Chain A
Amino acid sequence: MSFLPFGGGGSSQQTINQQNVAILEQEYEAVTETFNRIVDSCFKKCIPPKYIEGELNKGESVCIDRCFSKYIDVTTKIGEALTKKGQEAGARTGGFSV
């Protein structure tokens, strides 16, 4: 173990649980993907491509905040609808399918 004062390479004896790593990897990809999608959508909807200034003006800032909030709401709503569908299907067939 690394906190013991002897031997530097203790970690080589430990095994890597690929499943744990894969879960974390998936989570990272999901978070980045969602974030990038929001950035993309809200930029398209809130920032006119004229670029009169480099700053975000008041209207744009307010638009971004609302856009973010709505994007989350839509994600939640659709998630709920899909979950409900899945549960209904699951009740019928005993498995998960949409």
Chain B
Amino acid sequence: MDYSHYNDAERAHILKLLEQKQMRDFMKFYSNLVDRCFNDCINDFTSKTLTTKEETCIQRCTDKFLKHNERVGQRFAEYNQNMAAQAQQNLGSRSGGGGWFGGQ
């Protein structure tokens, strides 16, 4: 993000806000992942401990989701870059072009 048109007080305030939001987003991400892998991997309640099979499933589910998240992140970054480049190109001819994602 571009902070150049914010003053120091605003920048400090924004950084603090972002930090809070990132913490909140991480907790959301964590519980979302637990939810997903628990629901997909754990269906047998004849024992109260995780079986080896369940543990393997959880491990793979986690790995797969993280890789999935990373891949979507790559596509997302590419898309944002393209949109930013396009907006730059359109700057003279047409105002307001570009994506609705803003730059990261």
A contact patch SS: helix
Which residues of chain B are within 8 angstroms of A89 by Cβ–Cβ distance?
Answer: none
Taking the closest CB of chain B, its distance from the CB of A53, in whole angstroms, is 6
Max count, chain B CB within 10 A of own CB: residue among A1, A12, A68: A68
By size class, the interface of chain B is 35 or more
Taking the closest CB of chain A, its distance from the CB of B6, in whole angstroms, is 7
Contact B72 A55 (CB under 8 A): no
Max count, chain A CB within 10 A of own CB: residue among B7, B13, B36, B65: B7
Contact B75 A68 (CB under 8 A): yes
Taking the closest CB of chain B, its distance from the CB of A21, in whole angstroms, is 6
Instruction: Say yes or no for A2: interface residue by CB 8 A criterion.
Output: yes
The count of chain A contact residues (Cβ–Cβ below 8 Å) is: 44
Known: A11-B12, A31-B102. A64 touches B71 (CB 8 A): yes
Q: Which of B7-52 contact A (CB under 8 A)?
A: 7-10, 12-14, 17-18, 21, 25, 28, 36, 40-41
Chain B contacts to A: CB under 8 angstroms = 1, 6-10, 12-14, 17-18, 21, 25, 28, 36, 40-41, 57, 59-65, 67-69, 71-73, 75-76, 79, 100-102, 104
Query: What 4 A-B pairs have minimum CB-CB distances, sorted nearest first?
Result: A54-B63, A11-B8, A14-B9, A51-B60
